[in-house]
Structure 1
Amino acid sequence: MHPLHLFQYCPRCGSHRFVENNASSKRCEDCGFVYYINPKAAVAAFVMDNRSRLLVCRRAFEPSKGMLDLPGGFTECGETVEEAVARELSEEIGWYPDQMRYMYSFPNIYRYSGFDVHTMDLFFLCKYKGDSGALAAHDDVESCFWLSRDEIHPDRFAFQSVRRAITLLLNDDACWQVD
């Protein structure tokens, strides 16, 4: 199914002759307007504590309510991905990271309001040096808790991109070393 299948009319002239142009765009046969759908940037953080544990969140809302996830979310207009990581961590767990390191990116599909939002999920590693009990769930996080490396099972996470990133993280010994 084309990612723009729900868009039946040209947003410029209102024509119903708004047809598939290629795999990621539609074109109006009347006015020539072409609309592309490109992936929306999203971020997620591997928050690791000084005991080599990963902070995991439980989703409070759909999609995938109740499943495991990493803290993160969508970038906002005019915001860098690093700013988005800091904002999302502040909103979801009440913490601003001192530093972060880019790790990986994976495409994903996030179903929202009956529409498939194509995303490019960027994963960052953040080291948390504070009291592990000081972080708490806020915003759209039901709960958050720490898991050791052997307690993490990628298949328990909500999204395919997160499962792929978790799998890479589990196989990266350097990430699990205490600084």
Structure 2
Amino acid sequence: MEHHPLDSFKYCPKCGNNQFLVETFKSKKCSLCGFHYFYNPAAAVGVFVLNERGELLVGKRTFEPAKNTLDLPGGFVDFGENAETAAIREIEEETGLQLEVKQLEYLFSLPNEYIFSGFKVSTMDIFFKCIVSNGLVKGKDDISELKWVDIKSLDPSLFGLQSISQAVEMFMKSFQ
């Protein structure tokens, strides 16, 4: 049987009571103080960065999950950020490119789950596209190396995270 993320929460985070009981498939409620916790997906972003030749920027993941597999620039949305601001921040952190919100085009979103530190993380991955004129990039932060690739030659199975692989497949179809 698959381990549900809520199984790891044994005590109420508000009062410490050990009667922190399953209420629904996505929530637990404390029998003592009434605190109700909902397990919801974390917001994350991924960006299809294209250069003026129509090549896609892909990177190699530095860390688990899916270490050494291909990835798009992106990451988690921080507290107080919207998805666009997170996308711009992640692109700069991972590639050195500096963008403005007006350069981003929303594409679609996909749910994702992966194991991190032995814990199932559920995310809602929000995908954007942008075109950059400056192709000078350097892999930083969570990306060990970057390269520009022909979109038509991509193999989505080389992308280690399920939602990224699915997103690449969807994106490639728009170029056929």
TM-score in terms of structure 2 length: 0.93
User: Which residue number corresponds to residue 124 of structure 1?
Assistant: 128
In structure 1, the gaps of 5 or more residues are none
Instruction: Output one character per residue of 1:107-133: Cα deviation in whole Å (capped at 9) or x when no partner.
Output: 111322221111100000010112x3x
Structure 1 outlier segments of 4+, above 3 Å? none
Find the counterpart in structure 1 of residue 35 from structure 2: 33
- Given candidates 90, 97, 107, the residue that maps to 2:111 is 107
- Taking only aligned residues, the RMSD between alpha carbons, in angstroms, comes to 1.2
C-alpha separation in 2, matches of 1:2 and 1:62? 20
State whether structure 2 residue 91 is matched by structure 1 residue 89.
yes
Distance 2:27 2:52 in 1: 46
Gaps of 5+ in 2: none
How many percent of aligned residue pairs carry the same amino acid? 42
Contact 2:4 2:120 in 1 (8 A): no
1:139 maps to what in 2?
141
- Structure 1 length normalisation: TM-score? 0.92
After superposition, residues 144-155 of structure 1 pair within 5 angstroms as 144-155=146-157
Q: Deviation at 1:150?
A: 2.4
Report the Cα distance in structure 2 between the residues aligned to 1:119 and 1:110, rounded to whole angstroms.
Answer: 9
Q: Which amino acid aligns with 1:153?
A: D
Contact 2:22/2:28, CA 8 A, preserved across alignment: yes
Question: In 2, are the aligned partners of 1:3 and 1:24 still within 8 Å (CA)?
Answer: no
Q: Which amino acid counterpart does residue 35 of structure 1 have in structure 2?
A: Y
| 2:4 match: secondary structure | coil
What corresponds to 1:62 in structure 2?
A: 64
2:169 is matched with which residue? 167
Structure 1 counterpart of 2:117, which letter?
S
1:62-100 deviation line (CA, Å, top 9, x unaligned) = 111101100000011111111001100000000122411
CA distance in 2, matches of 1:29, 1:74: 33
Given that residues 10 and 18 in structure 1 are in contact (C-alpha distance below 8 angstroms), is that contact kept between their aligned partners in structure 2?
yes
Q: Is the 8 A contact 1:2 1:24 kept in 2?
A: no
